[in-house]
Structure formats: structure tokens, C-alpha cells
């Protein structure tokens, strides 16, 4: 089964229709780091990362990884070694902090965009994460918590996401 992002505000999976938000500047076939666009294509999904201090481990077939305080996702175009990869927080490289004060990353699933044969500057840290008000993202896909938890019960490691 494939998750489909349709018309920028709708996420479809099987018979379920969820409201979502995407990148502030829409979709991009040629994504560039920092362009606030969501990449177009068909991608696999990563593990589920979650805040165990705020939520119980959810019911899902995905591998669950508790988010630790020192976890980050490298978005530093100067870092060939770590770009677009999970990393420990470091003062030496720019990264998206996963252990946030707000709720947005209480649950997140990395979208495997630009992860195999990573091209530096082509975009990083593209996730499915939480939202409350459906404001545009910096390139991720955001859905509310209730829908996220439903989606987690339906998907597995073979689920793909189609963004078009």
C-alpha cells in the first residue's frame, strides 16, 4: 500500500482520508536545501521516532526508536559525512534537533528522500510529523496526532509514500 499526498492538503491511505500540510512553497521536482518545498516522487519510509517521555510506545509495525536529548538530523551542506543522516547533536554541524520543546516531533517518520547516494544540498530532514493548525512546513508533511496514530496502525516497513 502507498500513502498518497494529493492536492497539497490531503493524505490518502487505503480508505482513509486525512488532512495534511506540506512545504510552505509547495512541491518541487528539483528540491534544494532550505527552499521550503516538499520533494515530489515515490519514497520508502524510515523508522518511527517518538518521545517516550510524552507518549506510550504506539501500536505500529514500524520499528520504534525513542528520541533521546542528543539526537539530531544533519542538514549541514558542509558535512559530507553526516548530511541527511541521524546524528548526535554537535556544535560542529548544523542539524535539526529531534528532542524539541514543542510537540511537532513527538512522533516522526523520516521519508527516505535523498538518503541513498545522498546529494549534498538536494534537501534533508524530510519527515512526516505532527501539526495542530496545519500551517505550511519547511518541506515536511504534517498531520494531526489522532490521524498520525491511526496511520501508524495501518502502515509497515514496506509502505511507500507518493508525493505528486
Alpha-carbon span 58 to 149, nearest angstrom:
7
Give the per-residue pLDDT at 92: 84
Give the per-residue pLDDT at 122: 98
pLDDT by residue (tens digit) across 32-90?
999 999 999 999 999 999 999 999 999 999 999 999 999 999 999 999 999 999 999 86
Domain boundaries, the chain: 2-163
Task: Among 3.30.70.380, 2.40.440.10, 3.30.530.20, 3.90.1150.10, name the CATH number for the domain at 2-163.
Answer: 2.40.440.10
- Mean pLDDT of all residues in 85-96: 88
Q: What SS3 string covers 52-95?
A: CCCCCCCCCCCCEEECCCCEEEECCCCCCCCCCCEEECCCCCCE
Alpha-carbon span 113 to 126, nearest angstrom:
7
pTM, rounded to two decimals: 0.96
Number of H helices and E strands in the chain, helices first, is: 1, 15
pLDDT by residue (tens digit) across 103-154?
999 999 999 999 999 999 999 999 999 999 999 999 999 999 999 999 999 9
Amino acid at each position: 500500500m502507498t500513502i498518497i499526498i494529493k492536492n497539497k492538503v490531503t493524505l490518502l491511505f487505503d480508505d482513509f482520508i486525512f488532512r495534511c500540510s506540506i512545504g510552505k512553497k509547495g512541491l518541487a521536482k528539483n528540491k534544494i536545501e532550505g527552499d521550503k518545498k516538499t520533494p515530489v516522487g515515490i519514497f520508502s519510509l524510515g523508522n518511527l521516532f517518538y518521545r517516550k517521555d510524552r507518549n506510550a510506545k504506539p501500536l505500529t509495525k514500524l520499528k520504534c526508536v525513542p528520541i533521546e536529548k542528543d539526537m539530531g538530523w544533519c542538514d549541514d551542506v558542509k558535512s559530507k559525512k553526516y548530511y541527511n543522516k541521524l546524528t548526535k547533536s554537535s556544535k560542529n554541524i548544523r542539524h535539526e534537533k529531534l528532542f524539541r520543546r514543542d510537540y511537532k516531533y513527538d512522533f516522526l517518520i523520516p521519508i527516505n528522500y535523498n538518503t541513498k547516494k545522498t546529494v549534498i544540498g538536494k534537501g534533508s530532514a524530510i519527515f512526516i510529523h505532527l501539526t495542530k493548525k496545519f500551517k505550511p512546513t519547511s518541506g515536511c508533511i504534517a498531520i494531526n496526532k489522532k490521524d498520525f496514530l491511526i496511520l501508524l496502525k495501518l502502515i509497515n516497513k514496506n509502505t511507500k509514500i507518493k508525493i505528486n
